[in-house]
A and B are shown apart, each in its own frame.
Chain A
Amino acid sequence: MTQVATPPAGTPEQEPPGPPPGHVRLTIDGVQVDAPKGELVIRAAERIGTAIPRFCDHPLLDPVGACRQCLVEVEMGGRKMPKPQAACTQTVADGMVVNTQLSSPVAEQAQRSNLEFLLLNHPLDCPICDKGGECPLQNQTLANGPSASRLRDPKRVFTKPIPVSTQILLDRERCVLCQRCTRFSAQIAGDRFIDLLERGSAQQIGINRTEPFQSYFSGNTIQICPVGALTSAAYRFRARPFDLVSTPTTCEHCASGCSLRTDSRAGGITRRLAADDPQVNEEWNCDKGRFAFTYLRQGDRLTQPLVRNADGMLRPASWTDAMAAAARGLLQARDAGGVGVLPGGRVSVTDAYAYAKFARVALRSNDIDFRVRDTPVLDNGAEEAGFLARRVVGRGPGRGGVTHQELEHAPAVLLVGFEPEDESPIVFLRLRKAVRSRGLAVFAVGALATRGLEKLDGTLLPATPGTEPAVLAGLTREGTADTGLGEAAAAARNRLGAALRSAGAVLLVGERAAAVPGLLTAVETLADATGARIGWVPRRAGDRGALEVGAFPTLLPGGRPVTDAAARAEVEAAWGVPVPETPGRDTGGILAAVRDGDLSGLVIGGVDPADLPDPGAALTAVTAASFVVSLEIRASAVTELADVVLPVAAAPEKPGAFMNWEGRMRPFAAVLPEVGRLDEGRVLDTLGVEMDVDLYTQTPAAAAGELGRLGGWPAERTAAAIDPAGPVRSGPPESHGLTPHDKVLTSWRPLLDGGRMTDGEPALAGTARPEVVRLSAASAQALGVVDGAPVTVRGPGGGLTLPVAVTEPMRTDAVWLPARVGGRPLSAWIGTSAGHAVRVMAGAGIGREAR
């Protein structure tokens, strides 16, 4: 902003130069302001420090001009506009003169009388309102409102409050009908489940009873509601804002790493809000990020170390005893055959670094892998490891990485093995913003068009699960002849092929892409052929950081290839110890090796065996291990089997940082330092001391310092050192054996699916999408089932019956299931997971089979 003081009367030479190109010059309350064309007066005023009161205005929502609180006087060409204008809808113009409430009695009076109107029927129940103390209406009333109401008649009264979902309650008497909530839902989230109802003075916000406000983003409406009309079941009546301590934090739930503000009181978190971060989450977050924080106060929280005694029972022990026992066991296991490390994907950057270093220094092995997911890591992880080394590690904002903001300006985005709304909701919102504002073209390769894709106005490139590489390969060809694609699909493909060649196009690749042989290779080939850039979006908050700091079998910190002597030498110089030169095993390899006796011990971080492709086999491996150390926050199937259990801090209990999918550091402060829980870096550091090695990770600051000194390794060198993946198998894994009754299963985890990190929040769980089987219309017809009828999906391990949701467009040879049903992984129900053939039948149990 340029703020030019009005010059003293003088010669023309002293006149300030005209406004910069693309700007206009206006006067607000006597101050000359240069403002970009098209800017709203309310924003221009903000920039000179004048806050014009407002309710409906929100910088990220389309202007509506409904509340009329922001009226100002406007003069154009020396003539006053006859009526005061809404500053939130009036755009700036050259020579405009604006007088706000500070300099115009008319504006001041208009604003005061508008407050009177707003308060006429308001219940004035601030003392019992959650918003009390942080309510714009309350603040403005105190500052500028009438001291007594002139209303002599009964107020309009609504039944209050009403639930609009299990999570959100609406008090219509407090509502000022600013439409922020409805505009957010329609414009930002695309979930039009909440709308204006009735007319005139009976107008109100509401839902249709049959269709509650089940949006993954519903919590944002509470935050932007300028009054206490929308409240959450979780926070209602829990606290007053002035009793709360606020801490800037980063969300631990997914790889976007939203900036949050966490409010706590008396050692407990009371609520979390989205913080304003234009680079990442703007002012939004998802409901999981907002409401899922009660997991850390569940009854199964581990509070002290446990050590398995001579009778095989886990018993509480002192930290000293536990550390000694762990060190003893690990040293033995290391020498007996080796120890694998599975830190899981929820680690902070410095904790991941501690695991990475612990594996190399204390356990003298590269057998460490952060990857935990329900789809298998294929080919011993070679394709994915190569992909991550060549295309992901070392990159970040300004370092060749794709960013949220670049997504917003991309001409086209292709989604591969990635369902943004479920797997990284903030990416979804950013894409949707670009779709709305700029007409970004979104494409997805997959078996079905999801609601998320519809909300992105996206185009599906249909692919039977397993055949995605061929579809991607086809994108660099033209014409329909060789593909057997329909005309529409071929047209979409050609459109996309062209769009990907324009500057800034992005391939957004989810971690599930690794489950399809050849898909990541096809992504790389496509990127090279078109110039499109690659963004890799894993699911967990710690995944990307763990990769970056070497919690990976083939990479050392900074993306240094294990196999590169120079890279190793740098690390050895920093650590003062030799670094093993053989690449390690991946997660599946480690578990298999333990099961087969090739490895003796395991160090396991926050890994839920249910998140692995074969939870049973994973538990068998853990059972088979001769020695297991578990670092956990809550009792789990792994802690049950461990020899030593070390309780560690959850994210809100420690400071640290996540690296989000962009490769951006997302630091966070400890919300609840007073609980005194130890982070994994500290625990491993101490354990290292017991094992006679020094990690120097006793504090996140120390670990971060060392990481900083170690520095990065140029991405190109990493890429150069990793061989391009050899020829990879392609095609659906079991395509040969498919009978007409079989369908290939496609699946992922919806955002809300009863995972352990959402425990203790039933209101949130109530907004999860219903669990359904998705089938194409043709499949449903062949089965003789209509929408909502039960169908059974059968795999080698059993059958699962759910209502069908007929989905179009969708491949007829595919079936979709959520990756967890009733809180249990699919493999526990049907003994198989995504990418495999299953049989689909009408009804519960035995019924007609689908063709």
Chain B
Amino acid sequence: MSHTEGRIGVPVFLETGQVFDELTHRRAEEIVGRYPVARSALLPLLHLVQSVEGCVSQPGIDFCAEQLDLTAAEVSAVATFYTMYKRRPCGEHLVSVCTNTLCAALGGDAIYSTLSAHLGVGHEETTGEPAEAGAPGTITLEHAECLAACDLAPVLQVDYEYFDEQTPDSALDLVLALQAGGSPTPTRGPALRNFRTAELEIAGIFPDADERVAGPSLAEPTVRGVRDAERTGQHAPPGDDVPIPPLPEK
């Protein structure tokens, strides 16, 4: 990261002229209904907004403010705090490369620079014309903080699905496939769709839940311990079904 970047400007949300449709309003209502206090729905609502626009725009801010009776400033305060809320529309896919220490030491930095060089974009930048944000084959690149898959390092995510144990070459192949409109299979997670669908699911709306829940999740390193135990006949001490003791006398 450069330390001589210019002056930090004023946070700006895109004026997209977006009008959120009936369905989005219904979904918003459903999300708000999950919580004892409506404001808790703000993070999911911002994800919902991203599922429509690929970013948090000014209309998106206003939409959330209206649903929750907040000021636009309050929503902006939240929207600018979290890394997953994007200020510019993401491409069809978001590629997040872990460049935290451990992944980096195992090749994450090399993966990132390979992809960056190939795509010709830097952190949080998107290929393709801005006008056609989200168009097929467009890709937003970012480097991510530790993605909690260190035993599978180096990792990256596409639309928040895991691609484990990557190399610069495998990552490049993956991105080439994405650009060509393919749907490479995540190591863990169901078949890729796109960034916006992912955001919809993160908002807690799962259009075809059963099919996608079943997407694979088993990675060899994850189960090494348990398989080793099985293979070597190790186990925890056997436990009986012991009654829960009464409260101790005072």
User: Closest approach, in angstroms, between the C-beta of A681 and any C-beta of chain B?
Assistant: 48
Chain A window 390-415, contacts with chain B (Cβ cutoff 8 Å), 1 for yes, 0 for no: 00000000000000000000000000
Contact of A159 among B9, B70, B75 (CB under 8 A): B9
Tell me whether B11 and A210 are in contact (CB under 8 A).
no
Tell me whether B12 and A154 are in contact (CB under 8 A).
no
Give the complex CA separation of A603 and B75 in angstroms: 56
Which residue on chain A has the smallest CB distance to residue B62? A210
User: Closest approach, in angstroms, between the C-beta of A184 and any C-beta of chain B?
Assistant: 14
Which residue on chain B has the smallest CB distance to residue A192? B71
Interface 9-mer from A201-209, A427-435, A531-539, A623-631? A201-209
Residues of the B chain whose Cβ atoms lie less than 8 Å from the Cβ of A153: 3
Contact of A210 among B70, B72, B82 (CB under 8 A): B72
Tell me whether B8 and A158 are in contact (CB under 8 A).
yes
Tell me whether A207 and B8 are in contact (CB under 8 A).
no
Tell me whether B81 and A211 are in contact (CB under 8 A).
no
Contact of A162 among B10, B61, B77 (CB under 8 A): B10
Which residue on chain A has the smallest CB distance to residue B76? A208
Q: Would you call A729 an interface residue if the criterion is a C-beta within 8 Å of the partner chain's C-beta atoms?
A: no
Range for the number of chain B residues in contact with chain A:
20 to 34
Residues of the A chain whose Cβ atoms lie less than 8 Å from the Cβ of B187: none
Q: Would you call B38 an interface residue if the criterion is a C-beta within 8 Å of the partner chain's C-beta atoms?
A: no
Which residue on chain B has the smallest CB distance to residue A193? B73
Chain B window 1-27, contacts with chain A (Cβ cutoff 8 Å), 1 for yes, 0 for no: 001101111111100000000000000
Tell me whether A208 and B72 are in contact (CB under 8 A).
yes
Contact of A208 among B61, B81, B82 (CB under 8 A): B61
Q: Would you call A709 an interface residue if the criterion is a C-beta within 8 Å of the partner chain's C-beta atoms?
A: no
Give the complex CA separation of A207 and B72 in angstroms: 8
Q: Would you call B173 an interface residue if the criterion is a C-beta within 8 Å of the partner chain's C-beta atoms?
A: no
User: Closest approach, in angstroms, between the C-beta of A33 and any C-beta of chain B?
Assistant: 39
Give the complex CA separation of A724 and B58 in angstroms: 59
Tell me whether A208 and B71 are in contact (CB under 8 A).
yes
Chain B window 59-83, contacts with chain A (Cβ cutoff 8 Å), 1 for yes, 0 for no: 0011000000011111111001110
Give the complex CA separation of A215 and B8 in angstroms: 26
Chain A window 691-731, contacts with chain B (Cβ cutoff 8 Å), 1 for yes, 0 for no: 00000000000000000000000000000000000000000
Contact of A198 among B4, B6, B81 (CB under 8 A): B81
Known: A208-B75, A211-B72. A158 touches B80 (CB 8 A): no
Residues of the B chain whose Cβ atoms lie less than 8 Å from the Cβ of A541: none
Known: A208-B71, A208-B72, A211-B72. A195 touches B77 (CB 8 A): yes
Residues of the A chain whose Cβ atoms lie less than 8 Å from the Cβ of B4: 154
Tell me whether B7 and A159 are in contact (CB under 8 A).
yes
Q: Would you call A333 an interface residue if the criterion is a C-beta within 8 Å of the partner chain's C-beta atoms?
A: no
Residues of the A chain whose Cβ atoms lie less than 8 Å from the Cβ of B80: 197-199
User: Closest approach, in angstroms, between the C-beta of B57 and any C-beta of chain A?
Assistant: 12
Tell me whether B3 and A211 are in contact (CB under 8 A).
no
Give the complex CA separation of A172 and B9 in angstroms: 10
Which residue on chain B has the smallest CB distance to residue A153? B3
Task: State the majority secondary structure of interface residues on A.
Answer: loop
User: Closest approach, in angstroms, between the C-beta of A635 and any C-beta of chain B?
Assistant: 42
Tell me whether B81 and A199 are in contact (CB under 8 A).
yes
Count contacts on A: residues with CB < 8 A to the other chain: 25
Tell me whether A206 and B76 are in contact (CB under 8 A).
yes
Tell me whether B71 and A197 are in contact (CB under 8 A).
no
Give the complex CA separation of A207 and B73 in angstroms: 5
Which residue on chain B has the smallest CB distance to residue A196? B77
User: Closest approach, in angstroms, between the C-beta of B6 and any C-beta of chain A?
Assistant: 7
Within 8 A of B (CB), among A495-538: none
Residues of the B chain whose Cβ atoms lie less than 8 Å from the Cβ of A206: 10-11, 73, 76
Q: Would you call A157 an interface residue if the criterion is a C-beta within 8 Å of the partner chain's C-beta atoms?
A: yes
How many residue pairs between the two chains, A and B, have CB atoms under 8 Å in the bound complex? 67
| Most-contacted residue by chain A among B13, B58, B75, B77 (CB, 10 A) | B77
Which residue on chain A has the smallest CB distance to residue B79? A197
User: Closest approach, in angstroms, between the C-beta of B195 and any C-beta of chain A?
Assistant: 21
Give the complex CA separation of A361 and B155 in angstroms: 95
Known: A198-B81, A208-B61, A210-B62. A159 touches B8 (CB 8 A): yes
Contact of B11 among A154, A157, A194, A198 (CB under 8 A): A198
Tell me whether A192 and B70 are in contact (CB under 8 A).
yes
Give the complex CA separation of A182 and B61 in angstroms: 19
Tell me whether A211 and B73 are in contact (CB under 8 A).
yes
Residues of the B chain whose Cβ atoms lie less than 8 Å from the Cβ of A157: 6-8
| Most-contacted residue by chain A among B4, B6, B7, B82 (CB, 10 A) | B7
Tell me whether A210 and B58 are in contact (CB under 8 A).
yes
Which residue on chain B has the smallest CB distance to residue A212? B73
Give the complex CA separation of A154 and B6 in angstroms: 10
User: Closest approach, in angstroms, between the C-beta of B61 and any C-beta of chain A?
Assistant: 6
Chain A window 162-203, contacts with chain B (Cβ cutoff 8 Å), 1 for yes, 0 for no: 100000000010000000000000000000111111110010
Which residue on chain B has the smallest CB distance to residue A162? B10
Q: Would you call A156 an interface residue if the criterion is a C-beta within 8 Å of the partner chain's C-beta atoms?
A: yes
Give the complex CA separation of A366 and B130 in angstroms: 77
Which residue on chain B has the smallest CB distance to residue A213? B73
Give the complex CA separation of A706 and B73 in angstroms: 55
Known: A192-B74, A197-B80, A198-B81. A154 touches B3 (CB 8 A): yes
User: Closest approach, in angstroms, between the C-beta of A38 and any C-beta of chain B?
Assistant: 27
Give the complex CA separation of A445 and B8 in angstroms: 49
| Most-contacted residue by chain A among B6, B11, B12, B58 (CB, 10 A) | B11
Residues of the B chain whose Cβ atoms lie less than 8 Å from the Cβ of A158: 7-9
Tell me whether A195 and B73 are in contact (CB under 8 A).
yes
Chain B window 101-143, contacts with chain A (Cβ cutoff 8 Å), 1 for yes, 0 for no: 0000000000000000000000000000000000000000000
Give the complex CA separation of A157 and B9 in angstroms: 9
| Most-contacted residue by chain B among A153, A154, A206, A211 (CB, 10 A) | A211
Within 8 A of A (CB), among B140-160: none
Contact of A209 among B12, B70, B71 (CB under 8 A): B12
Which residue on chain A has the smallest CB distance to residue B58? A210
Give the complex CA separation of A204 and B82 in angstroms: 14
Give the complex CA separation of A207 and B58 in angstroms: 13
Give the complex CA separation of A204 and B81 in angstroms: 11
Which residue on chain A has the smallest CB distance to residue B78? A195
User: Closest approach, in angstroms, between the C-beta of A369 and any C-beta of chain B?
Assistant: 43
Residues of the B chain whose Cβ atoms lie less than 8 Å from the Cβ of A154: 3-4
* Beyond known contacts A159-B8, A192-B71, A197-B77: 7 more, CB 8 A cutoff: A154-B4, A195-B73, A195-B74, A199-B80, A199-B81, A199-B82, A206-B73
Residues of B within 8 A of A (CB): 3-4, 6-13, 58, 61-62, 70-77, 80-82
Kindly list the 4 A-B residue pairs having the minimum CB-CB distance in the complex, ordered from nearest. Answer: A208-B72, A195-B77, A211-B72, A195-B73
Q: What are 19 A-to-B residue pairs whose CB atoms are below 8 Å?
A: A157-B8, A158-B7, A158-B8, A159-B9, A192-B71, A193-B71, A195-B71, A195-B74, A195-B76, A196-B81, A204-B8, A208-B61, A208-B73, A209-B12, A209-B13, A209-B58, A210-B58, A210-B62, A210-B72
